[in-house]
Amino acid sequence: MFVKNKYGYKITTESMIQYLNMTKNNVYKLLPLREEGNEWKKYLTSLLELELKGCEDLFLDVNFIALISKLNSLHNKSFYLYRKGVFESLKIIDKMIEKLEGENNEK
């Protein structure tokens, strides 16, 4: 099965799930970067601007918009809200994966 996208590219569901799992790992990396005082803002900006925003035209999913919005809001948050936002972002990615797996099982 293929994932629908704006350009009609043939992206397999399996490839999309792999991409989302990779994205999930990248989002999770935000926690130790901030905890250890590393350049988390640069990593977050790179993740948003180079990775996710480059994909937004490919994916027609409201959860993807929610993910970008949630991550974009993290820049100037306290650590508590930052951590909460990261975990909520991971849950959004899980929802996206579950949706794809469900659609794949229906076919």
DSSP label at 57?
A: T
pLDDT of the residue at 40: 93
For 35-72, how does the pLDDT look when each residue is reduced to its tens digit (9 = 90+)?
999 999 999 999 998 888 777 767 767 888 899 999 99
Backbone angles phi, psi at 38, to 5 degrees: -80, -175
Rounded Cα gap, residues 62 and 99, in angstroms: 12
Helix (H, G, I), strand (E, B) or coil at 3: strand
CA 2 to chain CA centroid, nearest Å: 19
Confidence of residue 103 (pLDDT cuts 50, 70, 90): confident
pLDDT at 84 exceeding the cut of 80: yes
Instruction: Enter the pTM of the model.
Output: 0.87
Element (H, E) at 62: helix 62-72
